[in-house]
């Protein structure tokens, strides 16, 4: 189910030709990939993601797609399908590329047993794709019809001859033009017949470009009046420069930039009047039918940083601290506020414990974790339409005392967070009332050679691919976190978490190489002892993970339940782990559409339990050994309860 079937890696190879071959795999097919120019004729491909060569022409080929992104990406001038048949097993959205790249699809017939929406790629991109004569289950369709800017139908343009020539009731696919490069490679022996067609049609049919590239010296402009020259060029397939130069281009750009033409050159000039950064896509179309685009980022147009018209001060209001200050200007407060705890009156050992922006961040709800600490707050002044100014600090002259916390519990009962307000910082594992973020390579990953990046670990923001929310995301392998409550012990503990795996089909992690995520409960961060729910990718399933209850003992991990294979590790996946008395349980379910149950061993949800011995730990821990990026998991909406 998870075998990788790379037949060969052809780096630094120029020409590759495969005829009448069958390439079959369920992961990373990569048939003879890496050549600059590849031709596959009369071949069959059966694959999942990241599978096909992105610098190839596929002529008269058949495909079965078992997942949504057969290309990781494609080379500069893309991959080409000519007179192909594709059957997709995907339900919902069928993408062609994971990372945006050029694809051209001519006379290609799609079939599907379920409703499917065919799109070039998931993300918006300045990459442009071409199509002509596309059908789905016998009905003509436009790929990515809801995003027409991503592609062009070239059926009625001269550009079609770069791919296909119709003459005398016959169709000839122009392989000589596509694969000819600068050396005239002619794998199908079309030279003589193409010369006859050129004579009959009084037209040049080789050396025809397939891509219009627009280069810029930089991808960034300041807000207003900054400029750079646009450099368009025509490319033959295989990313060779075309003999001709672009001419007669029709340009288009948003109002946050303006285009200035002078003779044969065109410049883009920034004109952003908005207080936010703008990504501007600039496109051009040639009379021949080529279309190209590029994007530049224009800085936000911001006023000078505001001044404090009243100095920041901290006041107490029942169980909440308030940060009071005022700024010059009349727009919304967008100041960056960081709250700190310190054991010293001079705040010399301050530790960031909460942060945010603007009005919502001015309040600091006290908890029993603040008892005995001096609280301070740093304010970096900013209005919504201004730059950021120099920070000022407001401090409490006395520590938080029992009177200020009189209506609160003496020990923590719960935390609820989306992680938005939690500063991601390295601390001291096991320190009560504090988060700790770091990286760690567990001993049970020793067979796999990787080293955790100590400078990275986690970030708060957007995930990729199937993770659509905002939350806490791993930025390297081995990302780990702890939270230790202000309490010496607890009998019961419950953790509820929503996970958004970046992998959409349900495999959760990049590969079955010791990649897992442990959600640890009643844990001791110092001795690495406690219990956990392990979510792991194994070699047994290509669209599922296993959930297993495990015990930690001084860092050594052993299973205490059967492993359950499940398809529920898809966005959003709600996970609940609870230890009540001597009973450890875990539940998991997904809000994603039901997965196709090809294997009865794969369950749609999870319910596990085990009888365990008492442990003195009280901490939450999460350990992730999977790859980052498109293999990460976004975490949000965490709730932890102790009693």
Residue 38 clears pLDDT 60, i.e. is over it = yes
48 Cβ partners below 8 Å, 6+ apart?
Answer: 25, 26, 27, 28, 29, 65, 66, 67, 70, 505, 542
Tell me how far CA of residue 206 lies from CA of 37, 135, 167, 345, in angstroms.
16, 28, 16, 80
∠ CA(113), CA(114), CA(119), 5° rounding? Answer: 110
- pLDDT at residue number 274: 95
Q: How many C-beta neighbours within 10 Å does residue 20 have?
A: 9
Q: Reduce the DSSP state of residue 629 to 3 states and report it.
A: helix
pLDDT at 396: 94
pLDDT at 310: 97
Q: For residue 245, is pLDDT > 70?
A: yes
d(C-alpha 455, C-alpha 436), whole Å: 14
Summarize pLDDT for 273-304 with one digit per residue, the tens.
Answer: 999 999 999 999 999 999 999 999 999 999 99
Tell me what the mean pLDDT of segment 49-77 comes to. 94
Contacts of 348 (CB under 8 A, 6+ apart): 342
403-410 average pLDDT score = 86
Q: What is the mean pLDDT of residues 83-90?
A: 96
- Number of neighbours of residue 475 by Cβ within 10 angstroms: 17
Q: Average of pLDDT values for 604-610?
A: 97
Q: CA 45, 64, 120: angle at the middle one, nearest 5?
A: 100
Spans of all domains in the chain: 15-156, 211-298, 308-395, 414-642
Q: Any idea which of 52-61, 401-410, 425-434, 624-633 has the lowest mean pLDDT? A: 401-410
- In this prediction, residues 366-383 reach a mean pLDDT of 96
- Residue-wise pLDDT tens digits, 204-227: 999 999 999 999 999 999 999 999
Angle, CA 439 vertex, CA 435 and CA 445 arms, to 5°: 130
Task: Find out whether 257 and 271 touch, Cβ atoms under 8 Å.
Answer: yes
HSE (CB half, 13 Å, CA atoms) of 575?
Answer: 30
Residue 643 above 90 pLDDT?
yes
Please report the pLDDT score of residue 4 as a whole number: 62
The pLDDT value given to residue 2:
60
Within this chain, domains 211-298 and 414-642 share the same CATH topology:
no
Look up residue 97 and give its two tokens: 């590329």
Residue 597 reports pLDDT greater than 80: no
Beta bridge partners of 517: 535, 624
Confidence band for 3, pLDDT divided at 50, 70 and 90: low
pLDDT on residue 5: 62
> Which of the residue ranges 117-126, 130-139, 188-197, 344-353 would you say has the lowest mean pLDDT?
117-126
Q: Is the pLDDT of residue 379 over 80?
A: yes
Q: Which of 180-189, 330-339, 397-406, 479-488 has the lowest mean pLDDT?
A: 397-406
Mean pLDDT confidence for 319-345: 96
Instruction: Specify the pLDDT at position 423.
Output: 97
Average pLDDT over residues 597-625: 93
Q: What is the residue-averaged pLDDT of the chain?
A: 94
Q: Binning pLDDT at 50, 70 and 90, where does residue 151 land?
A: confident
φ, ψ for residue 196 (rounded to 5)? -65, -40
> For the residues 456-483, what does the mean pLDDT come to?
96
Residue 111, token pair as written in the block: 């079939």
Fold of 308-395: Immunoglobulin-like (2.60.40)
> Cβ contacts of residue 169 below 8 Å, gap of 6+?
none
Question: Are 481 and 437 contacting, i.e. CB atoms less than 8 angstroms apart?
Answer: yes
What class has domain 211-298?
Answer: mainly beta
Query: Which residue reads 């950021």 in tokens?
Result: 388
Share of the chain above pLDDT 70, in %: 99
**414-642 CATH:** 2.60.120.560
Mean pLDDT across 376-403? 95
Burial 546-584 (b: 16+ CB within 10 A, else e): bbbbbbbeeeebeebbebbbbbbbbbbbbbbbbbeeeeb
Burial (Cβ within 10 Å: 0-12, 13-18, ≥19) of residue 98: buried
pLDDT above 70 (res 452): yes
Q: What is the pLDDT, as a whole number, of residue 77? A: 96
Rounded CA-CA distance 399/394 in Å is 14
User: pLDDT tens, 573-582?
Assistant: 999 999 999 9
């Amino acid at each position: 189910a998870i075998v990788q079937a790379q037949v060969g890696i052809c780096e630094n190879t120029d020409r590759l030709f495969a005829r009448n071959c069958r390439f079959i795999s369920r992961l990373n097919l990569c048939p003879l990939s890496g050549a600059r120019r590849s031709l596959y004729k009369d071949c069959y491909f059966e694959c999942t993601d990241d599978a096909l060569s992105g610098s190839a022409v596929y002529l008269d080929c058949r495909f079965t797609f078992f997942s949504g992104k057969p290309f990781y990406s494609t080379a500069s001038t893309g991959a080409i399908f000519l007179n192909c048949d594709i059957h997709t097993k995907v339900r919902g959205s069928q993408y062609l590329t994971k990372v945006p790249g050029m694809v051209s699809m001519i006379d290609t017939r799609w079939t599907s047993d379920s409703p499917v929406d065919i799109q070039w790629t998931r993300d918006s991109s300045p990459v442009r794709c071409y199509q002509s004569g596309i059908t789905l289950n016998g009905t003509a369709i436009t790929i990515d019809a809801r995003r027409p800017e991503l592609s062009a139908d070239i059926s009625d343009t001269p550009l079609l001859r770069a791919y296909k020539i119709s003459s005398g009731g016959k169709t000839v696919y122009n392989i000589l033009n596509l694969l000819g490069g600068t050396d005239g490679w002619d794998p199908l022996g079309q030279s003589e017949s193409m010369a006859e067609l050129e004579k009959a049609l009084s037209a040049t049919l080789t050396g025809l470009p397939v891509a219009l590239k627009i280069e810029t010296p930089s991808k960034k402009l300041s807000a207003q009046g900054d400029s750079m020259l646009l450099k368009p060029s025509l490319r033959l397939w295989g990313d060779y420069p075309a003999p001709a130069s672009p001419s007669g281009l029709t340009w288009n750009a948003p109002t946050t930039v303006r285009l200035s033409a002078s003779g044969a050159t065109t410049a883009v000039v920034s004109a952003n009047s908005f207080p936010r950064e703008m990504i501007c896509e600039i496109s051009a179309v040639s009379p021949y039918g080529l279309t190209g685009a590029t994007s530049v980022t224009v800085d936000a147009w911001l006023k000078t940083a505001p001044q404090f018209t009243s100095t920041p001060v901290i006041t107490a209001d029942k169980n909440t601290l308030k940060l009071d200050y005022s700024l010059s200007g009349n727009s919304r407060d967008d100041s960056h506020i960081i709250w700190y705890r310190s054991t010293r009156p001079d705040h010399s050992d301050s530790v960031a414990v909460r942060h945010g922006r603007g009005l919502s961040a001015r309040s600091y709800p006290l908890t029993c974790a603040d008892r005995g600490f001096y609280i301070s707050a740093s304010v970096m002044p900013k209005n919504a339409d201004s730059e950021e100014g120099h920070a000022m600090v407001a401090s409490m002259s006395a520590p938080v005392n029992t009177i200020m916390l009189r209506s609160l519990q003496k020990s923590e009962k719960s935390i609820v967070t989306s992680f938005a307000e939690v500063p991601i910082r390295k601390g001291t594992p096991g320190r009560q009332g504090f988060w700790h973020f770091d990286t760690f390579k567990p001993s049970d990953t020793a067979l796999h050679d990787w080293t955790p990046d100590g400078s990275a670990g986690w970030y708060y923001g957007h995930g990729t691919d199937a993770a659509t929310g905002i939350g806490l995301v791993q930025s390297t392998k081995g990302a780990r976190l702890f939270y230790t409550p202000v309490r010496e012990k607890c009998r019961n503990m419950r953790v509820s978490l929503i996970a958004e795996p970046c992998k959409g089909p349900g495999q959760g992690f990049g590969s079955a190489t010791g990649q897992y995520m442990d959600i640890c409960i009643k844990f001791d961060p110092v001795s690495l002892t406690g219990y956990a729910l392990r979510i792991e990718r194994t070699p047994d399933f290509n669209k599922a993970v296993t959930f297993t209850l495990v015990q930690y003992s001084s860092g050594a991990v052993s299973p205490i339940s059967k492993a359950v294979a499940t398809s529920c590790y898809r966005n959003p996946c709600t996970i609940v782990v609870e230890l009540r008395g001597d009973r450890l349980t875990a539940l998991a379910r997904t809000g994603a559409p039901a997965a196709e149950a090809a294997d009865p061993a794969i369950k749609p949800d999870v319910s596990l339990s085990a009888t365990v011995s008492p442990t003195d730990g009280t901490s939450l821990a999460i350990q992730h050994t999977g790859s980052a990026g498109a293999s990460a998991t976004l975490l949000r909406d965490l709730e932890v309860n102790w009693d």
